[in-house]
């Protein structure tokens, strides 16, 4: 994995840093695992805009990802590593010995023709999926379930990973990418290894047009709005607008919004930094 800085031959390329996509092996997705995806433009069922700064974007198809890894003890061969426009991580097309094909989140370092398998008594190799009770302590993991059989929820984005630090009864203690340590049932599945495309955070778009390709419209600053539109709007001239807050008045930048009596608080061993 590496990034490449373009020569400044146009204003849009002056600061642009792109991914080399060295891991990508094909540019055509598996047709049986793709479905159409419809854009809402930030509108709800009545046509009212409920999400601002959303709309446009390049046409794309959704890749059906296997987050559950629920084919135990059936070996699969990695056929391709592909780009997915719906997520920051790369995906891998795997073919099982019974002929079924599935997409999975590609772990860092996966290669074409590599063998992977999911199950309880498998080797803790990169790409294999196992229950937390079977993974050795200290292993770097990703694509972690929160409930058994639910499918991967945690540590799915590019370059992210968690670490299995200890086990206590029916719970495993996981250090998450945010720095939080949390108890998760040992019956939950996780993939060994970190997620691919760790250089995603180093890329620089270079121009506003690339945000439009991704479906992001220009964002208006709150202090230039009118008082009817935002708590920080109004005032004569360039007034600062007071304390930073959201559209409905919730303070930002350090104000804690998590409820003190939230049910999942008892599973958190140590909070994130």
Helix (H) or strand (E) holding 77: strand 76-82
Domain that holds residue 150: 19-201
Instruction: Classify residue 233: in a domain, yes or no.
Output: no
State the pLDDT confidence band at 4, using cuts at 50, 70 and 90.
Answer: very high
Predicted local confidence at residue 1, as pLDDT: 63
Residue 105 belongs to domain with CATH number = 2.40.50.140
Mean pLDDT, all residues of the chain? 95
| Residue that is written with structure tokens 């642009």 in the block | 16
Per-residue CA distances from 186 to 43, 152, 170, 189, 214 (Å): 40, 14, 6, 8, 38
CA distance 207 to 209: 5
Q: How far apart are the first and last CA of the chain?
A: 29
Predicted local confidence at residue 237, as pLDDT: 87
pLDDT tens readout for residues 214-230 = 999 999 999 999 999 99
What is the rounded average pLDDT of the residues 30-42?
95
CA distance 243 to 193: 42
Predicted local confidence at residue 269, as pLDDT: 96
CB 81 within 8 A of CB 56: no
Instruction: Classify residue 234: in a domain, yes or no.
Output: no
Q: What is the DSSP string of 141-204?
A: EESEESSTTS-EEES-STT--EEEEEEETTEEEEE-TTS-EEEEETTSEEEES-BS-GGGGG-B
Q: How many domains does the chain have?
A: 1
Predicted local confidence at residue 242, as pLDDT: 85
pLDDT tens readout for residues 247-269 = 999 999 999 999 999 999 999 99
State the pLDDT confidence band at 83, using cuts at 50, 70 and 90.
Answer: very high
Predicted local confidence at residue 239, as pLDDT: 84
pLDDT tens readout for residues 205-215 = 999 999 999 99
Residues 6+ apart with CB under 8 A from 202: 3, 17
Instruction: Classify residue 56: in a domain, yes or no.
Output: yes
Q: What is residue 154's three-state secondary structure?
A: strand
Residues in the chain: 273
Instruction: Classify residue 270: in a domain, yes or no.
Output: no
pTM: 0.91
| Residue that is written with structure tokens 């200890």 in the block | 166
Instruction: Classify residue 154: in a domain, yes or no.
Output: yes
């Amino acid at each position: 994995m590496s990034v490449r800085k373009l020569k400044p031959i146009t204003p849009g390329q002056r600061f642009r840093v792109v991914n080399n996509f060295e891991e990508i092996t094909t540019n055509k997705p598996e047709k049986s695992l793709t479905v159409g995806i419809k854009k809402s433009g930030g509108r709800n069922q009545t046509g009212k805009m409920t999400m601002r700064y959303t709309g446009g974007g390049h046409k794309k198809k959704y890749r059906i990802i296997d987050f559950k890894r629920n084919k135990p003890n059936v070996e699969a061969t990695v056929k391709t590593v592909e780009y997915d426009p719906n997520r920051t991580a790369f995906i891998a097309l795997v073919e099982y010995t019974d002929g079924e094909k599935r997409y999975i989140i590609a772990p860092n370092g996966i290669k074409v023709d590599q063998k992977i398998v999911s199950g309880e008594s498998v080797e803790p190799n990169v790409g294999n999926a196992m229950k937390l009770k079977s993974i050795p302590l200290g292993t770097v993991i990703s694509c972690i379930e929160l409930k058994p059989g639910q499918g991967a929820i945690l540590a799915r984005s590019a370059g992210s990973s968690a670490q299995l630090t200890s086990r206590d009864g029916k719970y495993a203690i996981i250090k998450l990418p945010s720095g939080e340590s949390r108890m998760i049932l040992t019956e939950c599945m996780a993939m060994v290894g970190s997620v691919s495309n760790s250089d995603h955070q180093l890329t620089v778009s270079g121009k506003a047009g690339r945000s439009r390709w991704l479906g992001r419209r220009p964002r208006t600053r709150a202090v230039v709005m009118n008082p009817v539109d935002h708590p920080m709007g109004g005032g004569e001239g360039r007034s600062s607008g007071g304390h930073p807050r959201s559209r409905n008045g919730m303070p930002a930048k350090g104000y804690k919004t998590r409820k003190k009596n939230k049910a999942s608080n008892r599973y958190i061993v140590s909070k994130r930094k």
